[in-house]
Amino acid sequence: MSAESLRERLGEFDVNDDGALSLDEFAQWHATMMRERMVDRFQHLDADADGSVTPDEVDSFAGRAGWMLGGMRGGSPIGGTPDQN
């Protein structure tokens, strides 16, 4: 995302049009950006795009990307002692 499009988006969330974002305005902007990222992540997880993420889809995504698992595979316990060889 370029700085220019960020500036444009800032304008969208500048509700009282004073040229700057108050905390409330920024919170709205931030929530929107987070939501976009969250939706993006959801769509990555939702392999068959049916609008719901099943445990199998999570497993398969984790297997593909090592997402949130630190790339662990097989029987390694999640959250166990770090294994850095």
Q: Give residues in contact with Ca ion (CB under 5 A).
A: 14, 16, 18, 25, 46, 48, 50
Whole-number minimum distance, CB 80 to Ca ion, in Å? 29
- Residue positions counted in the chain: 85
CA nearest neighbour of 31 among 23, 41, 42, 19: 23
Tokens of 68: 């949130």
Nearer to Ca ion, 24 or 76 (CB): 24
Nearer to Ca ion, 14 or 29 (CB): 14
Nearer to Ca ion, 48 or 59 (CB): 48
CA distances from 61 to 24, 27, 43, 48 (A): 35, 31, 11, 12
Whole-number minimum distance, CB 9 to Ca ion, in Å? 13
